[in-house]
Amino acid sequence: MMHTKGPWKRTNDTHAGKPQIIGDTQHICTVMRNGNVSANARLIAAAPELLEDLEKIGRIAVNAGHAPSHEDALNILLDIGNLALEAIRTATGE
């Protein structure tokens, strides 16, 4: 089963006071009011981008095993770390 393609966005429009997550042309979900609604909405909206980053990390990690040198492998690991940190910033809004 394939998910709705991103990007997803949190809208300022609310339904019964609850934030909405929308794709390009359709409603994805309504964020219910439990916990930190803003943080939850940001994380849900980031899901397609987080999946994309994780797929990139997987492809890069496989290549690390075929790196021609130790230095190249370390550079690949640095790329993985940077992608992971970027994904975390996207998810947390920092």
φ, ψ for residue 22, nearest 5 deg: -125, 150
Which pLDDT score, from 0 to 100, does residue 85 have?
92
CA 83, CA 78: separation in Å to the nearest integer? 9
Reading the chain (94 residues) residue by residue, the pLDDT tens digits are: 577 888 888 887 666 677 888 888 788 888 877 777 888 888 888 888 888 888 888 888 887 778 788 888 888 889 889 989 988 888 887 7
21 DSSP assignment: E
